[in-house]
Each structure stands twice: as structure tokens, then as C-alpha cells.
Structure 1
Amino acid sequence: MDKKVIVIGATSGIGKELALVLSQNDYLVGITGRREPMLTELTKNNPNSFVPKTFDCTEENTLTFLNELLADLGGLDLLVLSSGTGDLNDSLEYAIEDRTNQLNVIAFTNIIGWAFNLFQEQGYGHLVAISSIAGLRGSRIAPSYNASKAYQINYLEGLRQKAKKSKLKITITDIRPGFVDTPMAKGEGQFWVASPKKAAKQLYLAIKRKKDIAYITKRWRLIAIIVKILPNWLYKRM
């Protein structure tokens, strides 16, 4: 195995399924998450392909854990950030907004910055983050979630521009899912709901093709176009 990857948020959902796909395609996979039993169970699928490390992304010593995992892997070619949170919050309860921002903004920035600097130092690398189609517009029922995903989308675009301007061999891939059948999918009126396995397969293809932006499933690109062109006077009535 000559390819090394870290999947952050591999205990369930898209992250878990992607870790399995990568392990089946000659990657040595560092897997992280808060729930150690779930990482242990995932590792049992292929003990020689997984290196687990249990930690919470919002902890102060996150980068210490990542550096330890980097040493265990013996290098890094690809990092996938699949850890995120968000809740419906029509009452604007601060604790919910704060919890979302702590993971989706503060921890995101910490981890993405660590990975980019590592890749910059070694001269190559591929950075993948799962944002959301929700980041394209605001939301009356989940304000911080949509805003945090907009932050991620713009941050990744900035790093893509930075890599290009500096002529670095660093690929930045922004994955924007629609509805995926995980606990993150909240609210009514869900449609085009993908299974985590289907989402992971499409995500893997986007990684192989080194896409800048990919929608999961692909048909959500149509929704993205519609959402972006909706005039403000109409969108604010929705």
C-alpha cells in the first residue's frame, strides 16, 4: 500500500462507507471519530488497512492526535474531512448555534489549515471536505448550519486559489451532498435521498478525478443551479 489517507469522521455515514471503499482500493486508511467501539468495529473489516485514532475534532489537542496518526501512517497523500453537525433551530437557541460553529467552523479551520500546510511543505496532496448544498443560501430553520457550510465552501475556494497561485500540486475538492440517509438529514420534504454507500461511491469517483466541486448525488447540481439563481424577493418568502 503506497497511498495514505486520513478520514476524519469515519464512525458512521458517508465517512465510514468512504473509508471502506478506500481500504478496498489500496489505501492505508487512518480513521478518526469520537466513538472508539465504532472505529474498532470498522477496523475489523480489514485490520491491515485501517489505523484508528479516537478523538473529538473540537478538542484543543486535535492537531497532536493528527500528527500522531500521520506518524503511524508514515505519510499522507489524501485527507478527507467528513465530520460535521447541524440541527434545526427555529428558536435560535444559542447552544445549538454554538455547537454547530465549534465543529463546522472552528474545528474545520484548524484541521483544514493543518492539512494544507502539511501538503504545502511536502509539495503535494489532496484535500477533500464535505460541505453541503445548504451552503449556497441561508436557512430560516437552520441558520448556523447553512452559514457554516457557506464558510466551508468559501474557505475551500480560497485554498484552491492559493494553491493555484503558488503553483502547488495540491488539489482541493469540495463535496456538496444533498440529502443522504444519515442522522444529519433533518426536516420534512426530503427527496433524492441517497444511501451512504451510493454517496461514498460517487465521492470516491470525485476523488479519483480530482474534481474541484462535486454534488452528491450528481442530480443535485440541478438544484444548486436553481437555488443560486432564485431572486432574493422570492427566496425570502420560502
Structure 2
Amino acid sequence: MNKAIIIGATSGIGNELAKILVQNGYIVGITGRRKTELLKLKNSHPNNYVISSFDCTSENNSKKLSELTDQIGGLDLLILSSGTGDLNEDLDFETEHKTNLLNVNAFTEIVDWTFNYFKKQENGHLVAISSIAGIRGGRIAPAYNASKAYQINYLEGLRQKATKTKKPIYVTDIRPGFVDTDMAKGEGQFWVATKEKASRQIFGIIKRKKGVGYVTKRWWIIAKLLRLIPNGIYKKM
């Protein structure tokens, strides 16, 4: 039976992916700050879920992940679905700092631990949810866009490392557009997917072990357009 850990399973995409993995025969270690939400998953399939409730920004992630991996009996797949970001037109530093603590600091500790675990094991699959927002900077939520750009580039570096190992180690970067979760903030949203649809597509990407996947699929068009917009025009947007 395959073993997986989902970081950020209390709600949204992480919560839906936990359900999909269990439906496909996985034992799943689920993490998050809200233990009550994790217990709801656990109660639905008591033999398939193992709970570890902690805050990625204030705990020793490496130690917690090692303990959870032992509890589920190994690790084949880790999905990092924990992230944050707030609208911050006034550039309040605490808002930016909070975003970076999770999206940069905690992200780095978690993916480093995971990659090193899989390298020692000589196989495994790391999946992280970044965002299409990481393609360009953004005036409305500067730290969010910038931290997602960091994630995109970091994951690309890990894919290079995985290739160099010549082992079946896979690193997947999932770049969602708008999904109907608590993370969807601001006006002018379009092509908004349900978390159920987004999660089904993500699971398909995971099964194919793709390096990069856009959710929903048509968001690759927006990603391409964002890269093509000249700097002189983009800075006025």
C-alpha cells in the first residue's frame, strides 16, 4: 500500500487530495493547524489516515515529518499544499513577513527534508502547490507573487537534482489559477474551478509524474500570455 503525507490537509485542495488518495488505496499522513478538521477526515476512514497537527511556521518540520513517516510506515509521495497570502496594497511588513515565513522559510525546510529522504531511499515523488501568480510580480500582493516565484524556481532546481541522481525521484510543480478556496482573494477572478475539479486534475498530473502542471488545464494559456507582456506595459497594470 502506498504511503503519502499531505502538508495542509485541513481545507481546500489539500483536504480534497487527501480524500482522493484514500479512495485510491493510500495510507495518508495529514497535517495542519486545525486538529478538528483533521479529525473529520480521520473519522471518515480511521484506518487510512494518521494525524499530525502542527504549525509549519513555528515547529520543527523535519522532526515532525520524520515522526509522521515512521507512523505511516514509510513515504512514497509528499504533497505540500500549505500556503498563505494576503492583499497588501499598503505594504504592511507584518503581512509580507507572515507570507514569507510559510511560503519561503517553511516551504524550504519541508521540500529539503523530503528531497533528502527520497534521495536516501532512491525513489519518491515530491509535489508542491505553487501558483500561476509566481510567473510575474504583483502590486496587490507582492510577497505572495514573489514567494511563489521562489517556489517555482526552487522546485526547478530540485528537478535538476533529481535528474542527476538517475533514480526514480520526481518533483512536480502544480500552478493553479483561481480555485474556489479561502486563498482566492480579490476582484476580477475568472475561470474559477471548484476545489473538487482542481484536485482531480492535480491527481491526474501526479499519476503522470509531470514536472509542471497548470490547474485547470487552460491556465497554461494565461501563463504564456503573462510571459509575453512587455515590461513597459506590465508595470502600468
Task: Give the TM-score normalised by structure 1.
Answer: 0.98
1:183 corresponding residue in structure 2: 182
CA distance in 1, matches of 2:16, 2:100: 25
Q: CA deviation at 1:60?
A: 3.4
Unaligned runs of 5+ in 2: none
Q: CA deviation at 1:59?
A: 1.9
The one-character-per-residue Cα deviations of 1:141-176 (angstroms, maximum 9, x if unpaired) are 100000000000000000001111221321000000
Q: Aligned residue pairs: how many?
A: 237
1:120 corresponding residue in structure 2: 119
CA distance in 2, matches of 1:168, 1:60: 31
Q: CA deviation at 1:62?
A: 1.9
What secondary structure is seen at the aligned counterpart in 1 of 2:44? coil
Amino acid at match of 2:235: K
Moved more, 165-174 or 225-234: 165-174
CA distance in 2, matches of 1:44, 1:140: 42
CA distance in 1, matches of 2:18, 2:160: 28
Amino acid at match of 2:95: I
CA distance in 2, matches of 1:50, 1:93: 39
Moved more, 8-17 or 63-72: 63-72
Amino acid at match of 2:153: N
Please identify runs of 4+ aligned residues in structure 1 that moved more than 4 A: none
Q: Cα RMSD (Å) of the superposition?
A: 0.7
CA distance in 1, matches of 2:41, 2:90: 37
2:211 corresponding residue in structure 1: 212
CA distance in 2, matches of 1:167, 1:66: 25
Amino acid at match of 1:25: N
CA distance in 2, matches of 1:102, 1:65: 17
1:203 corresponding residue in structure 2: 202
The 5 A counterparts of 1:24-35 are: 24-35=23-34
2:61 corresponding residue in structure 1: 62
The 5 A counterparts of 1:31-46 are: 31-46=30-45
2:4 corresponding residue in structure 1: 5
Q: CA deviation at 1:84?
A: 0.1
Q: Percent identity?
A: 63
2:74 corresponding residue in structure 1: 75
The one-character-per-residue Cα deviations of 1:112-153 (angstroms, maximum 9, x if unpaired) are 000000000000000000000000000011000000000000
The one-character-per-residue Cα deviations of 1:30-50 (angstroms, maximum 9, x if unpaired) are 000000000001111111111
The one-character-per-residue Cα deviations of 1:162-213 (angstroms, maximum 9, x if unpaired) are 1112213210000000000011001100000011111110000000000100
CA distance in 2, matches of 1:110, 1:132: 19
Unaligned runs of 5+ in 1: none
CA distance in 2, matches of 1:231, 1:162: 32
